[in-house]
Amino acid sequence: MKKYIFIWLPFSLGILLIGVVHLDLYQFKQQSVDVNGMLMRELPIVVTGLISGALVLISTLYWLYKKQWLVAGQSFISPIIFIYCFGYGGTIGGAYLNAT
């Protein structure tokens, strides 16, 4: 059970990052937060997600060696989804900040 929590950590952080980006943009639109405040909220999530994603991606080799194909597939997909969420959040934030 512990391996599944570790494997899906990057995915969970990616979903959390998208929520934080939307919250930050809403607050920025209401002028209740500045860009530095937004980045200070998002940066720990991004760094933790990238580090855990790299570790989970490396663990894919272990699961492939142990021939646990389902776990290996999940440990490959979870960091990929985090990278997608990271790009999506960055695109939303960059487009919004460029438009204002």
- Between 19 and 38, name the one with better pLDDT: 19
Query: How far is the C-alpha of 87 from the C-alpha of 68, rounded, in Å?
Result: 30
Average pLDDT of the residues in 74-82: 93
Name the residue among 68, 88, 90, 70 with its Cα closest to residue 80. Answer: 88
Provide the number of structural domains found in the chain: 1
**pLDDT of 28 strictly over 90:** no
pLDDT level of residue 100 (50, 70, 90 thresholds)? low
Beta-carbon count within 10 A of 6 CB: 14
* Full residue range of the structural domain in which residue 92 is found: 2-99
Average pLDDT of the residues in 6-35: 89
Mean pLDDT for all residues in the chain: 89
